[in-house]
Structure 1
């Protein structure tokens, strides 16, 4: 298996497990971000659940590459939505840069799963 994939998939998996977890649990700082973005409160735990599923799928994808590919594609769509939402909310540039870096990392992971 590709070394880059064995590093990226678990790292991104843990990232999405943590970001999804704070959304599902309704951690105060997470709710403040939701409000700054102008999102409907009912949508926040749904996004968190998708992040939890995607993060889990990335890690399990090391054992079942089709699952990793599907998860990375789903997370790619989620990150496009996140970046679009932050642009509309006029988020600070460093925040946009972090989201863009995560998007590129997820896209790279998807490509690595295709090659696996």
Structure 2
């Protein structure tokens, strides 16, 4: 049961973050510009986050979607960590990506482990 609560929270968080990126929220637009990325990259990342969030929520009923979304979101967060590292951002800016990486990977592993039990 706890995995589903965690999964729902993760899905909602990525939906909100992705929608903000797609909408061009000032903070996200400024960060992507600071990191040297075009608006198209922001839109691509936002779209990936929205799809991952939807997959995470749908994965409550279709577990394979949780595995795929978890792996995709974890990969996205590895990329985010690389960007923050390259930009020499302070810990407070890259810590959320690390936490989301761990949670997304945990959800994927938890659901995938059902296939082998």
TM-score strictly above 0.5: yes
Cα deviation code 1:28-61 (max 9, x no counterpart): 1210111122212211111100100000000000
Structure number with greater CO (CA < 8 Å, separation at least 6) is 1
How much does 1:98 deviate? 1.8
Residue of structure 2 equivalent to 1:19: 17
Question: For residue 98 of structure 1, what is the aligned residue in structure 2?
Answer: 96
- 1:114, distance to aligned residue in structure 2 (A): 1.1
- The alignment partner of 1:86 has SS state of helix
Separation in 2 of the partners of 1:28 and 1:53? 22
Give the Cα separation in 2 of the matches to 1:44 and 1:28: 12
Q: Which residue of 1 aligns with 2:105?
A: 107
Gaps of 5+ in 2: none
Q: Is the 8 A contact 1:38 1:89 kept in 2?
A: no
Separation of aligned partners in 2, 1:50 and 1:14: 14
Q: RMSD of the alignment, in Å?
A: 1.1
* Corresponding pairs, count: 114
Superposition map of 1:33-72 within 5 A: 33-72=31-70
Distance in 1 separating the partners of 2:9 and 2:91: 23
Moved over 3 A (4+): none
Query: Any idea what SS the aligned residue of 1:42 has?
Result: helix
Structure 2 equivalent of residue 5 of structure 1: 3
